[in-house]
Each structure stands twice: as structure tokens, then as C-alpha cells.
């Protein structure tokens, strides 16, 4: 289904936490517990090292490109978020406010707002124009693991290790809805959340090893995805998930903790394809380029690979 | 997407009721929301135009070219272009992708107002101080056509001037108002007056056509807003019928109305007041009854605009130029904080159900997984939001993070 386009075997010497391709498709950014962000130039043939952004004093757990590809936001264990000017290679803002490790970031589609989640159990909404915190959403009781915006940018979904998925209204900061899965006895930490392309559903991963698709309007899980033979997808790490919509029937994608990438059919919940990164370490992130014509996978040991779609 | 999860009673409100925000970003003389309501353009007394993001309320772009007070602002429907007119005799067309002036024209005097053709951003109609109005096409070589002020079939004996102009949403007709109370209808193709209507005998200050093209309101300095049924623009203008529906006036305070605006479906109209009271009045247009007075300003109000999607109204003030924004307050639903919370009207005596805490030896999760057969559509978006507005993509104006 996918073949390798290029592979970076060791993006960083330390553990790699995140990698993103810029919205304009020209750049790859990787980040690591070594406190740096590396930028790589992409071309039709492959990937070449460009420069390193240094400044954080502790490991970085998440990076995001701004929608215009000119800026990168990074979240670090040094309690700050930095906004970097890609061209100049230096940071233009430091956002301070979180009182513990910053774990996750997301840009609003207009690029003027950034939301961040932290191990201090809060979500902060930042006005990037003024480098000011607009709102603090304190509704979780454990670290925030994941955030996402609905396609129209009005709703924020958050996943937390307290086992809750909450939806917030960006404008008022109010909690709009809370989802909890307690059918397996108790609730497990939520490790990743993402909106479906039409934002009517939420795909969540939790550390009981399942990936679930929620119909949040009706508080209902409508699909459950499992690893081969009903095994766990991830029980220890927060691994990314995504939707691939370039196929006739949309797919859900997630890595597992042994270096495999799983692709499920949304309707049948069957695994239609497994990609082996060969790294054997957890696949931290899976990122579609476009609507899935290409797929970026990031392994914790530093392997970054771009897959190219091949056939149906 | 947020609206469908908010309190439906608050979302269903048709007009704002609470002062939510005041923004003191310079002395504003004109305000206009983009069609999608995601940006607010504010024109200042010194000619600067600010683009304000309505989610963050911060200024994301500053447009500098005009040197005197901005008199009107118009967005293109796509959200990328802005037409501005000023007392510095100029009309500018801005490209907000680059935030530069891409077309400009210098008239022979100050400009009362200019209105962009919604179907062609290079065309506009402008009302000029002490001069006949013009229709301009700046796409290639500037083509400026003078329009008549003297009403059709009237002797050219009374000296009058055109004070305001507007365009129908289908852009087929231009409506102008004169200092002697005449409303002229001009065909955009022939640029001739095809119909004239004597509304009153004093200055016509504003002409406002509702976005759905069903109502027309004329504000004049005799302190009356006259609301007409908007004629069917598909028939020749000679056969148009202007049916006077309502006259809005405050007989007690004798208020001058300054600016007015219909809501999206023309069921409500708001107007800012000049005089002793510093309020925005909102009427229900069917019966013409006053439904709300928006208070809170300590200054006389000038320009108003209505953000339909966010259900808020902005007004500028005369002395300080501060922006006042009224909107709807949506209460927090406490039941949203946990899936089993329920909001109840009054206390209910709790009675434990017979099987409430029974241990059922059943694998809930496997049962739930077995019931997941339904077809799920994760791609197709809803077409409209809970207020009935379509989800549209609009131009995104670049916001540059300021350095510390």
C-alpha cells in the first residue's frame, strides 16, 4: 500500500519525540530530548540537513509548524513554549505560564492562536500576536497528553492521563462535553486524540491498548481498533494517530510500540495493511502529507521515514 | 462546530444583549466585519486601518496610506480585499495577502463613502463631498463615470447633492440618496437613473439594504428611519414598488439616528443614536417594535456593524473612538463536565433503583465492540452551523508573532 520514499536513520542521537512536515511541503522538522530542533530540506529525491534551532534548556516533546510554514512552535520540559522564525533560525517569542513540562501544542488554522497542554494539568490558549496567554482551561486532573482543533477552529478537544476526553469552546473557554470510557472496568489514561476530517468524530488512543472512534454528540464509541489478534496498540507510550482519506474507503492509522504502523479500515475495523519501519522502537507519530498520498512515520530511536502511496 | 454543543437557548438568540468588550485601539471612525466575521476592520481618524482578529481581539495588521479620517470600509466576499475611502480624497483597494494598496484613486474632494461591487472588487461607487457621485472601474486604466444627482423627470432647479450610495447585493443597481430627500436608482450597466423616489425633504444620511435583499431602510436627518419592502430587482426599475412598512423614530427624545444595520435575515435592525442617549436600538422589523436597547457607552455612537455568525454588534464612539462590542452571554453547562451529570430544575429525592448497584457478570466492552457495525462517515462535513450559516473557507490574513 505504501513504499518507502526516503529514510533518515538517525535524525538525532538522543530519543526523537516528534517530527513534522511543513504545510507547504518544503521542510521537515525533527525534535528530540537533546533540546534541539533540526530542520531538513525536502526535495523530490530525498531529505538534506539544513540547520539546528537551539535555545531550549530541556528536552522538547512537541513541535508544530504554523499554517504559513514560516514559524515553528516547540513545547519543552523547561516549562516554556518557543516560537521560532524558520528563515532566521532564531526564536521570536517565549511563552511562559505553564508550571510543569509542556507536552503538546496545536495551531489554530488562522495561525493567530496556539493552544498548549502541559503536565501541570492545564491547557493554555495563546494570542501569538501579543505573545499573551488569553485563557487557561483547567478542567483535567492529570497531564494533558494531546490536543486538536475542529476543522472550523471553534472547538478544542483534549485528552488527559486522567482518562477524560474534554471538548472546549475556544471563544468562551467553556467545557462543552466530557467523554469517558469506563466499560473496561476503570478508565485508562488517554494518550492521543484527533478529530475526524469532518470533526463529527474523535479518534482516541488510551493506554488500555485500544484506539476508539467516538461519536461525541451521542457519548458513544462507534468503532474500536485493535492490534493484530486483538493485542494492544500501545500501553506505555502516547503514540499519534491519523486519518488517511485518499483511499476509496477512509483508513485510520497508528503506530505501535514495536515499530509497526497499522492501517485499519474505518468501517470494518480490519487491519488492511501493516508497514514495518524495521526500527523496533515505538512509532511516536504518524502524519499524513496531503490526505494520505504520503505518510511520515517517526520512531523513538530516531528513524524518520516518508512513505509514498502505492496502489489502492 | 461549537454552537451545536452550547446551550441551545443562548445560541438561538437573534441579537446580542450584553456589553462584552471595549477596544481602545486609536480613535476609530468606521468599522466593518468581514463576511465570515473572523476579522474586523477599524478605520481611524488619522487614516490608519487596523485589522483585528475577532477571536483574539488583537490587531494583526496595520494598513497605512490614508492621511485623514476613514469614511467607509468594504470587504470583498472572499475576505482578501478591502476597499477604503477617506477624507484625504482617496479611495484605496487593499490586498490583505500582501497588505498593500493595489488600486488607488484620487478624487477632487473628500469622499463621503465608497461601496465595492460584491461581484467585482475593482468596481465601486462613491459619494463625493460637493460633487456628483461616481462609478469607478480600476481594473485596468481607471474609468470614472459621473452619475446624476438630479432625480429622474424632475426639473433641474433645486440644487442638491448626493450624500450616500449603496449597491444591491446582486450588484445590478446603485441606490443613492440626496440632500433633498430623493432616492435615486441607477442601473449599473447603463449608469443612468432609472427611478427616483422622494422619501422626505431633508438629507438622506444612509441607505441600507438587508443582506437577503428583502428590506430597504433610509435614514434621514428628519430623525426618521423609513423601512421599505425591497422591490424585486428582477423586474424593470420603472415598475418597482416601494412599500413603506415602518417609520422608526423616537418622538420623546427626538433622537438622530446615526448609522443602521439589518441582521442577516432582516428580521431585526439596529441603529446607533446621536444625542442625549448613548445607545444602540434594536427593532424587530416585522412590526417595527423596539426589542432591545444596548447600553453601556458613555459617549455618542457613530458607526455600527453586525457580526452575524458570532451574533455581536460593534459601535464606534464619537469623542474617544473606542469600540464597544455587545454579544450574547452563553452560560456554562455544568452537565458538560461529566457524562453522567444532569441539570435539574429543582431538587429531586434520590431513590435507588432496584438494580442500580447490582454486579452484572457481563463483559461490557466486548458487547459494545460487537455492536459497532454501523457505517460511519468521517469525511462529509455538515453544511451549516447551528445558527444556519454555511461553513465557508475565507481568506486567512497573515498574523506575524511580535518579537519580545
CATH code for position B66? 2.130.10.10
Residue B39 CB contacts under 8 Å (≥ 6 apart), including other chains? B33, B51, B52, B53, B54, B60, B75, B79, B397
Determine, yes or no, domain membership for B300: no
Q: Which fold has domain A14-240?
A: Methylamine Dehydrogenase; Chain H (2.130.10)
Query: Which residue, A61, A36, A63, A66, is CA-closest to A51?
Result: A36
Provide, as residue numbers in chain A, all residues whose Cβ is less than 8 Å from the Cβ of B336. 167, 174-178
Put simply, whether B343 touches A (Cβ < 8 Å) is: no
**Could you tell me if residue B20 is inside a domain?**
no
**Which chain B residues touch A222 with a CB distance below 8 Å?**
372, 374, 376
- Which SS3 state, helix, strand or coil, does residue B260 take? strand
- What is residue B152's predicted lDDT score, i.e. its pLDDT? 85
Of B6, B374, B378, which has the smallest distance from its Cβ to A176's Cβ?
B6
Alpha helices in chain A (DSSP H): none
B175, HSE (Cβ side, Cα atoms, 13 Å): 25
Coil, helix or strand for A260? strand
The DSSP secondary-structure symbol of A228 reads G
Task: Dump the DSSP string for B60-123.
Answer: EEEE----S-EEEEEE-TTSSEEEEEETTSEEEEEETTTTEEEEEEE-SS-EEEEEEETTEEEE
The domain segmentation of chain A, as residue ranges, is 14-240, 241-312
- Decide if pLDDT at A289 tops 80: yes
B404 touches chain A (CB under 8 A): yes
Whether B183 is covered by a domain: the verdict is: yes
Is residue B163 within 8 A of residue B127, CB to CB? The reply is yes
Determine the 3-state secondary structure of B179 from DSSP: coil
Report whether pLDDT(A166) > 70: yes
Average pLDDT over residues A200-224: 93
Q: Which residue of B has its CA nearest to A184?
A: B365
Whether residues A245 and B379 touch (CB distance < 8 A) is answered with yes
Q: What is the rounded radius of gyration, in angstroms, for the C-alpha atoms of chain A?
A: 18
Q: What is the pLDDT of residue B10?
A: 85
B147 falls within a domain:
yes
Q: Does B345 reside within a domain?
A: no
Q: Supply the range of the domain harboring residue B136.
A: 26-264
What is the least distance, in Å, from the CA of B122 to any CA of chain A?
A: 26
pLDDT digits (tens, 9 = 90+) for B24-56: 999 999 999 999 999 999 999 999 999 999 999
User: In Å, how far is A145's CA from the nearest CA of chain B?
Assistant: 18
If one compares B8 and B133, the residue with the highest pLDDT of the two is B133
**CA-based nearest residue to A86, from A101, A102, A64:** A64
Look at residue A46 in the predicted model and tell me its pLDDT.
Answer: 86
DSSP B9-53: HHHT-SS--EEEEEE-SS-EEEEEE-TTSSEEEEEETTS-EEEEE
- Tell me how far apart the alpha carbons of residues B249 and B288 are, in angstroms, rounded to a whole number: 10
pLDDT of residue B27: 95
pLDDT of A186 over the 80 cut: no
Of B376, B380, B396, Cβ closest to residue A266: B376
Instruction: Using an 8 Å CB-CB cutoff, list chain B residues near A108.
Output: 55
Q: CA nearest A72 in B: which residue?
A: B401
In a domain, B60, yes or no: yes
Name, of A62-71, B226-235, B376-385, the range with top average pLDDT.
A62-71
Residue B292 has pLDDT above 60, yes or no: yes
CATH 3.30.590.10 fits A241-312, yes or no: no
Query: For the CA atoms of B351, B352, B355, B361, what is the dihedral angle to 10 degrees?
Result: 150
B233 lies in some domain: yes
What residues of B are in contact with residue A197 (Cβ under 8 Å)?
A: 378-379, 381
Going by pLDDT thresholds of 50, 70 and 90, the confidence category of residue A287 is: very high
For residue B36, list chain A residues with Cβ-Cβ distance below 8 A.
none
Q: What CA–CA distance (Å, rounded) separates B281 from B259?
A: 11
Minimum Cα–Cα distance from B381: chain A residue: A198
Of A129, A150, A153, the CB nearest to B60: A129
- Selection from A172, A193, A14 nearest residue B328 by Cα: A172
B272-291 pLDDT tens trace: 988 778 899 999 999 999 99
Chain B residues whose CB is inside 8 A of the A174 CB are 6, 330, 332-333, 336
Apex CA A73: angle with CA A67 and CA A78, to 5°? 165
Residue B390 touches chain A, beta carbons under 8 Å: no
Quick check: B192 and B186 in contact, CB under 8 A? yes
Can you give the pLDDT at residue A312? 67
Contacts with B399 from chain A: Cβ below 8 Å = 110-112, 128-129
DSSP assigned state of B165:
E
Least confident of A87-101, A182-196, B168-182, B301-315: A182-196
Q: Which residue has the cell 492501517?
A: A263
Are A224 and B372 within 8 A, CB to CB? Answer: yes
Name the grid cell of A203: 479518534
B379 touches chain A (CB under 8 A): yes
Contact residues, chain B, for A128 at CB < 8 Å: 399, 401
Q: Is residue B21 less than 8 Å (CB to CB) from chain A?
A: no
More confident residue, A136 or B235: A136
Asked if A92's CB is within 8 angstroms of B403's CB, the reply is yes
CB B164, CB B153: distance < 8 Å: no
User: Which residues of chain A make contact with B339, given a CB cutoff of 8 A?
Assistant: 178-180, 219
Task: Verify whether the Cβ–Cβ distance A198 to B338 is below 8 Å.
Answer: no
d(CA A240, CA B248): 59
Determine the Cα–Cα distance for residues B394 and A36; give it in Å rounded to an integer. 36
Whether residue B361 is predicted with pLDDT greater than 60 in this model: the reply is: no
Contact list in B for residue A127 (CB cut-off 8 A) is 56, 58
Give the C-alpha distances (Å, rounded to integers) separating A184 from A160, A166, A209: 18, 19, 11
- Name the pLDDT band for B362 (thresholds 50, 70, 90): low
Nearest residue of A to residue B382, measured between CA atoms: A198
Q: Where are the alpha helices (DSSP H) in A173-287?
A: none
**Residues of chain B positioned with their CB less than 8 A from the CB of A172:** 330, 332
DSSP B79: S
The closest of A75, A143, A61 to A114, measured between CA atoms, is A75
* Beta pairing, strands A304-309 & A2-8: antiparallel
pLDDT value, residue A184: 67
- Report DSSP state, residue A58: S
Say which range, A257-261, B109-113, B287-291, B371-375, has the weakest mean pLDDT: B371-375
CA dihedral of B148, B151, B153, B157, whole degrees rounded to 10: -90
Q: Are residues B336 and A176, on separate chains, in Cβ contact within 8 Å?
A: yes
Q: Is B68 exposed, middle or buried (0-12, 13-18, 19+ CB in 10 A)?
A: middle
For B368, the enclosing helix (H) or strand (E) is helix B364-370
State the pLDDT at residue A162: 93
Cell of A106: 496545536
Residues of B in contact with A219 (CB under 8 A): 339
Phi and psi, residue B108, nearest 5°:
-95, 20
Residue ranges of E strands in A150-270: 155-160, 164-169, 175-180, 190-195, 201-206, 211-215, 220-225, 241-244, 251-255, 260-265
Percent of chain B whose predicted confidence (pLDDT) is above 70: 99
Question: What is d(CA B220, CA B127) in angstroms, rounded to the nearest whole number?
Answer: 16
In this structure, are residues B15 and B263 in contact, taking their beta carbons and an 8 Å threshold?
yes
Under 8 Å CB-to-CB from B380, ≥6 apart: which residues?
A198
Task: Tell me whether residues B5 and A169 touch, CB distance under 8 A.
Answer: yes
pLDDT more than 90, % of chain B: 67
Q: What is d(CA B206, CA B190) in angstroms, rounded to the nearest whole number?
A: 24
Determine the residue among A69, A85, A95, A128 to mutate to test chain B binding: the one whose Cβ has the most chain B Cβ atoms within 10 Å.
A128
Q: Which of B339, B378, B400 lies closest to A201 in CB terms? A: B378
**Residues 270-309, chain B, touching A (beta carbon < 8 A):** none
Using DSSP, state whether A82 is helix, strand or coil. Answer: strand
For cell 531550549, the residue is A56
Task: State how many domains chain B has.
Answer: 1
Q: What is the mean pLDDT of residues A35-44?
A: 94
Confidence check: pLDDT of B403 > 90: no
| A50-59, B102-111, B350-359: least confidently modelled range | B350-359
* Cβ within 8 Å, pair A131-B401: yes
* SS3 at position B242: coil
Strand segments (E) across B120-237: 120-128, 134-137, 143-146, 162-167, 173-178, 182-187, 193-198, 204-209, 215-220, 224-229
Q: Of A131, A151, A243, which is closest to B404 when you measure between CB atoms?
A: A131
Query: Measured between CB atoms, does B360 come within 8 Å of chain A?
Result: no
A239 and A255 Cβ atoms separated by less than 8 Å: yes
**Whole-angstrom Cα distance, residue A172 to residue B2?**
10
What gap in Å lies between CA A118 and CA A106, rounded to an integer?
A: 12
Please tell me if residue B59 touches chain A, with a CB cutoff of 8 Å: yes
Q: ipTM value of the model?
A: 0.90
Among candidate residues A102, A93, A90, A98, the one with its CA nearest the CA of residue A129? A93
User: How far, in Å, CA of B95 to CA of B115, rounded?
Assistant: 16
Contact A213 B376 (CB under 8 A): yes
Residues in contact with B361: Cβ distance below 8 Å, sequence separation at least 6, in sequence order:
none
Instruction: Considering only the beta carbons, identify the residue of B1, B55, B365 that sits closest to A150.
Output: B1
**Residue B120 φ/ψ region, left for φ over 0, alpha for ψ in the -120 to 50 degree band, beta for the rest:** beta
Q: Mean pLDDT over all residues of chain B?
A: 91
Mark yes or no for CB contact B60/A170 under 8 Å.
no
Amino acid at each position: 500500500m505504501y513504499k518507502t520514499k526516503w529514510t533518515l536513520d538517525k535524525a538525532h542521537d538522543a530519543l526523537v519525540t516528534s517530527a513534522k512536515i511543513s504545510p507547504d511541503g518544503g521542510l521537515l522538522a525533527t525534535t528530540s530530548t537533546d533540546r534541539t530542533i533540526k530542520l531538513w530540506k525536502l526535495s523530490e529525491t530525498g531529505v538534506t540537513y539544513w540547520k539546528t534551532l537551539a535555545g531550549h534548556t530541556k528536552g522538547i516533546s512537541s513541535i508544530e509548524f504554523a499554517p504559513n510554514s514560516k514559524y515553528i512552535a516547540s513545547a519543552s520540559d523547561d516549562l516554556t513554549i518557543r516560537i521560532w522564525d524558520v528563515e532566521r533560525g532564531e526564536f521570536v517569542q517565549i511563552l511562559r505560564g505553564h508550571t510543569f513540562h509542556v507536552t503538546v501544542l496545536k495551531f489554530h488554522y488562522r495561525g493567530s492562536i496556539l493552544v498548549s497542554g502541559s503536565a501541570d494539568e492545564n491547557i493554555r490558549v495563546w494570542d501569538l500576536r501579543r505573545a499573551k496567554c488569553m485563557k487557561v482551561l483547567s478542567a483535567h486532573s492529570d497531564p494533558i497528553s494531546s490536543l486538536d482543533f475542529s476543522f472550523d477552529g471553534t472547538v478544542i478537544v483534549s485528552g488527559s492521563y486522567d482518562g477524560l476526553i474534554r471538548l472546549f469552546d475556544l471563544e468562551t473557554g467553556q467545557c462543552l462535553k466530557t467523554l469517558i470510557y469506563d466499560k473496561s472496568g476503570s478508565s485508562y489514561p488517554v494518550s492521543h486524540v484527533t478529530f475526524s476530517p469532518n470533526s463529527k468524530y474523535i479518534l482516541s488512543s488510551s493506554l488500555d491498548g485500544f484506539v476508539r472512534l467516538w461519536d461525541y454528540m451521542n457519548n458513544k464509541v462507534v468503532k474500536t481498533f485493535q492490534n493484530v489478534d486483538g493485542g494492544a496498540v500501545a500501553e506505555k507510550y502516547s503514540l499519534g494517530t491519523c486519518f488517511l482519506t485518499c483511499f476509496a474507503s477512509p483508513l485510520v492509522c497508528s503506530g505501535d510500540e514495536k515499530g509497526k504502523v497499522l492501517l485499519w479500515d474505518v468501517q470494518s475495523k480490519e487491519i488492511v495493511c501493516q508497514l514495518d519501519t524495521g526500527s523496533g522502537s515505538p512509532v511516536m507519530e504518524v502524519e499524513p502529507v496531503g490526505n494520505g498520498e504520503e505518510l511520515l512515520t517517526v520512531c523513538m530511536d530516531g528513524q524518520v521515514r516518508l512513505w509514498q502511496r502505492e496502489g489502492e | 462546530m461549537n454552537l451545536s454543543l452550547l446551550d441551545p437557548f443562548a445560541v438561538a438568540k437573534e441579537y446580542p444583549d450584553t456589553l462584552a468588550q471595549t477596544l481602545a485601539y486609536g480613535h476609530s471612525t468606521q468599522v466593518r466585519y468581514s463576511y465570515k466575521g473572523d476579522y474586523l476592520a477599524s478605520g481611524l481618524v488619522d487614516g490608519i486601518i487596523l485589522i483585528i482578529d475577532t477571536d483574539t481581539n488583537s490587531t494583526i495588521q496595520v494598513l497605512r496610506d490614508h492621511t485623514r479620517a476613514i469614511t467607509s470600509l468594504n470587504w470583498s466576499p472572499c475576505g482578501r480585499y478591502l476597499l477604503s475611502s477617506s477624507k484625504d480624497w482617496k479611495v484605496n483597494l487593499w490586498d490583505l495577502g500582501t497588505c498593500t494598496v493595489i488600486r488607488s484613486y484620487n478624487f477632487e474632494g473628500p469622499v463621503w463613502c465608497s461601496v465595492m461591487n460584491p461581484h467585482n472588487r475593482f468596481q465601486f461607487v462613491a459619494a463625493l463631498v460637493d460633487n456628483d457621485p461616481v462609478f469607478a472601474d480600476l481594473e485596468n486604466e481607471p474609468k470614472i463615470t459621473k452619475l446624476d444627482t438630479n432625480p429622474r423627470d424632475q426639473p433641474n432647479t433645486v440644487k442638491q447633492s448626493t450624500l450616500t450610495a449603496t449597491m444591491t447585493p446582486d450588484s445590478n443597481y446603485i441606490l443613492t440618496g440626496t440632500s433633498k430627500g430623493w432616492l435615486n436608482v441607477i442601473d449599473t450597466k447603463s449608469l443612468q437613473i432609472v427611478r427616483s423616489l422622494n422619501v422626505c425633504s431633508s438629507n438622506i444620511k444612509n441607505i441600507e439594504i438587508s443582506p437577503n435583499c428583502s428590506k430597504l431602510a433610509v435614514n434621514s436627518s428628519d430623525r426618521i428611519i423609513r423601512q421599505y419592502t425591497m422591490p424585486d430587482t428582477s423586474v424593470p426599475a420603472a415598475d418597482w414598488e416601494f412599500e413603506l412598512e415602518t417609520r422608526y423614530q423616537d418622538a420623546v427624545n427626538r433622537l438622530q439616528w446615526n448609522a443602521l444595520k439589518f441582521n442577516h435575515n432582516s428580521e431585526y435592525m439596529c441603529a446607533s443614536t446621536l444625542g442625549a442617549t448613548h445607545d444602540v436600538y434594536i427593532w424587530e422589523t416585522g412590526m417595527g417594535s423596539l426589542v432591545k436597547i444596548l447600553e453601556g457607552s458613555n459617549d455618542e455612537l457613530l458607526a455600527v456593524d453586525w457580526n452575524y455568525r458570532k451574533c455581536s454588534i460593534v459601535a464606534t464612539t464619537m469623542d474617544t473612538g473606542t469600540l464597544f462590542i455587545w454579544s450574547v452571554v452563553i452560560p456554562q453547562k455544568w452537565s458538560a463536565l461529566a457524562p453522567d451529570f444532569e441539570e435539574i430544575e429543582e431538587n429531586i429525592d434520590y431513590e435507588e433503583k432496584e438494580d442500580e448497584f447490582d454486579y452484572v457478570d457481563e463483559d461490557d466492552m466486548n458487547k459494545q465492540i460487537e455492536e459497532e457495525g454501523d457505517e460511519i462517515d468521517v469525511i462529509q462535513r455538515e453544511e451549516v452551523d447551528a445558527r444556519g450559516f454555511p461553513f465557508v473557507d475565507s481568506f486567512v490574513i497573515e498574523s506575524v508573532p511580535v518579537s519580545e
